[in-house]
């Protein structure tokens, strides 16, 4: 038997959906989300981010939109030694963060970026 919907259930679901949207759980980071006042705002985090390996030992992350900061990181493969992770500097949107292994005998892999 189907349970009838009540006002409390609808309000609870609507509140959860608005809270999730404000936390960025629902939709894309570029989506406009209505606030309590009825106006809209843009998500503040970096977006439109590009990543690539510039050389065999260098990984680059660069975000072109939004505000905040971005940082690249990459794993470095070393023969006969444990691999390690290198981090680039935290940079503002519009600048490139570069993570580089220590020397040319190594190889960068597993590149990723973080935002804040």
pLDDT in tens, 29-67: 433 334 444 445 455 689 999 999 999 999 999 999 999
Report in angstroms the alpha-carbon separations of 16 from 5, 21, 28, 32, 102.
Answer: 16, 8, 17, 17, 47
Instruction: Report which listed range, 24-28, 41-45, 75-79, is most confident.
Output: 75-79
pLDDT greater at residue 106 or residue 11: 106
Task: Calculate ∠ Cα 36-39-44, nearest 5°.
Answer: 90
More confident residue, 82 or 4: 82
Q: Which residue has the higher pLDDT, 70 or 27?
A: 70
pLDDT at 39 (0 to 100): 44
């Amino acid at each position: 038997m189907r349970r009838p919907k009540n006002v409390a259930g609808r309000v609870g679901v609507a509140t959860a959906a608005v809270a999730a949207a404000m936390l960025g759980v629902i939709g894309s980071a570029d989506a406009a989300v209505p606030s309590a006042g009825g106006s809209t705002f843009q998500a503040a985090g970096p977006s439109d981010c590009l990543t690539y390996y510039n050389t065999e030992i260098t990984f680059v992350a660069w975000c072109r939109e939004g505000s905040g900061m971005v940082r690249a990181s990459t794993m470095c493969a070393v023969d006969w030694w444990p691999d390690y992770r290198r981090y680039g500097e935290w940079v503002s949107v519009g600048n490139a963060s570069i993570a580089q292994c220590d020397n040319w005998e190594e190889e960068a892999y597993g590149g990723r970026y973080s935002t804040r």
